[in-house]
Structure 1
Amino acid sequence: MTELFRRATGCLQEAGWTCEPPLSTEDGVLSALRTAPDTVIRWVSSFSQLSNADETVWFLSRHDYSTGAEDAFAWNEFEQLSIQAATTDDELVAVARFWERHIPILLSVRDGYEYLAVRDDGAVVHGAEPDFEQAVVVFSRFEDLLRYIIARPAARNDVIERLLFDASSVTDTTPGR
């Protein structure tokens, strides 16, 4: 699995992303990650920063999930926004139920608020404002997202391409352009 992580971060770096090594090798699982698959816990522990060049799209690191993090965006920022927007008890319950089953792994503020999250069954979902809880499955397993990053197949996933490899943030090095 470590090789898969290394190759995926390497491909993101080739696309202009910044990757910083993990700050420490903390043991134990943070409460925010208690339902996360082991692969996701190991992934978020494999770097301290993983973001696009202008830091408008980033994968959450282990540090981001700690309760003491004082960054501009909390790991559960979109859940908090949904809670604030809820106008009935039923809406609050629906928001809570959704986020109990989903752990955000990537946040984007580039063109509005978007995220990728891992659902409790291992599927990777994409959600966006204004209704963050209307998420759609983009990969059936987290490892498939990493393999996609590495392979960048001809049959591309528009959501992932836009989030991770937006053409406007990558310099075209094709001769004659």
Structure 2
Amino acid sequence: MTELFRRATGCLQEAGWTCEPPLSTEDGVPSALQPAPETVVDWVSSFSQLSNADETVWFLSRHDYSTGSEDAFAWNECEQLSIQAATTDDEAAAVSRFWKRHVPILLSVRNGYEYLAVRDDGAVVHGAEPEFEEAVAVFSHFEDLMRYIVARPTAWKDVVERLLFDAGKHP
């Protein structure tokens, strides 16, 4: 997996992304990452920052999942916004149930709020405002997202292409 991560990070850097080396991982896995597959924990531990050139799209790093992070956007920003928007206890409970099954791995503020998350069955889903919980699966497995980044196939997955690479600029 490490080689796949290195290649994916390299492809993102070739597309203008910034990558900073990982911080220490001695503190153990943050509780927010406990439900994530081991490959996702390994991925988010492989960098401290991984973002596009204007920092409007970024993969969450292991540090971002720590409760003490002071970044402008929390790792669970979409969940927090949805809970604030809920008008009934039932709606708030439905939001909480959704996010117990999903771990965000990428956030975007480029064209409104969007995210990629790993669902508890390993699938990668995409969601966007205003209904973050109306997520659509874009990959069956997290590793498929990594392979997609490396391959940059000609049959683009529009949502992922738009998030990760500048839409319309093909290699």
For the aligned pair, the TM-score class normalised by the smaller chain equals over 0.9
Cα distance in structure 2, aligned partners of 1:63 and 1:80: 19
Cα distance in structure 1, aligned partners of 2:15 and 2:56: 14
Aligned residue in 2 for 1:22: 22
TM-fit CA distance, 1:25: 2.9
Aligned residue in 2 for 1:151: 151
SS in 1 for 2:104: strand
SS in 1 for 2:153: coil
Cα distance in structure 2, aligned partners of 1:164 and 1:9: 11
TM-fit CA distance, 1:27: 4.8
Query: What do residues 56-78 of structure 1 show as CA deviations (whole Å, max 9, x unaligned)?
Result: 00000000000000000000011
Aligned residue in 1 for 2:131: 131
Aligned residue in 2 for 1:3: 3
Amino acid corresponding to residue 78 of structure 1 in structure 2: C
SS in 2 for 1:106: strand
Query: What do residues 31-52 of structure 1 show as CA deviations (whole Å, max 9, x unaligned)?
Result: 0011000000000000000000
TM-fit CA distance, 1:167: 3.7
Aligned residue in 2 for 1:109: 109
TM-fit CA distance, 1:94: 0.5
SS in 2 for 1:3: helix
Structure 2 residue 79 is the aligned partner of structure 1 residue 86:
no
TM-fit CA distance, 1:138: 0.1
Q: Which runs of 5+ in 2 are unaligned?
A: none
TM-fit CA distance, 1:28: 2.0
TM-score (norm 1): 0.94
Query: What do residues 107-142 of structure 1 show as CA deviations (whole Å, max 9, x unaligned)?
Result: 000000000000000000000000000000000000
Cα distance in structure 2, aligned partners of 1:167 and 1:81: 27
Q: Which runs of 5+ in 1 are unaligned?
A: none
1:46-57 aligned at under 5 Å gives the runs 46-57=46-57
Aligned residue in 1 for 2:76: 76
Cα distance in structure 1, aligned partners of 2:80 and 2:27: 27
SS in 1 for 2:96: helix
TM-fit CA distance, 1:163: 0.3
Aligned residue in 1 for 2:32: 32
Count of residues in Structure 1 that have an aligned counterpart in Structure 2: 171
Cα distance in structure 1, aligned partners of 2:14 and 2:166: 13
Identity %: 84
TM-fit CA distance, 1:166: 1.4
TM-score (norm 2): 0.97
Amino acid corresponding to residue 145 of structure 1 in structure 2: L
Cα distance in structure 2, aligned partners of 1:83 and 1:60: 21
Query: What do residues 8-34 of structure 1 show as CA deviations (whole Å, max 9, x unaligned)?
Result: 000000000000000113252210011
CA RMSD, aligned part only?
1.3
